[in-house]
Structure 1
């Protein structure tokens, strides 16, 4: 999970993952999305591959990258604890906000 968290810390890698969530893409297609040189894109893809977030397959002379969403399962489970905590707190906050208040005396307005 540490490798996944490290990979997600970089904005460029998150842009790549967002693009791959829609469909597989080549290095050139992914490079068009980023304001960095192609060698930098390749380095980002290597980090994502080593973290298990993407996989690559060779199609003739092209490398096509795909998202591996199963790599996010452990992260999602870990975040689930905090998601539950915040959902409870938001429900409590909503109940507090919705609770009727006694009317203020007119002199306090």
Structure 2
């Protein structure tokens, strides 16, 4: 995510404990900590990977307001997001340890 945080990201962070209680595993990785040369999938848009089979891609306006989500089940797009998630998982910061 980009720092400083947009209001939506602050809202997401505050609500994350509820998501974790529901079984989600959530980690945070500031964009400036991405490995050099890494091409982020889906043109850098926010995405949520669901059961390694479905993507929910977030769309936002210039001020960070949510416009909606697009569901993508294209196997190549999903596989690229799984690859990047696996590459970055250990580098990303556990929610309990990330202090915005």
**Shared fold (TM-score, shorter chain, > 0.5):** no
Q: Which has the higher contact order (CA 8 A, sep 6+)?
A: 2
Structure number, greater radius of gyration: 1
TM-score normalized with structure 2 length: 0.28
Structure ranking higher in helix proportion: 1
Structure ranking higher in strand proportion: 2
TM-score normalized with structure 1 length: 0.26
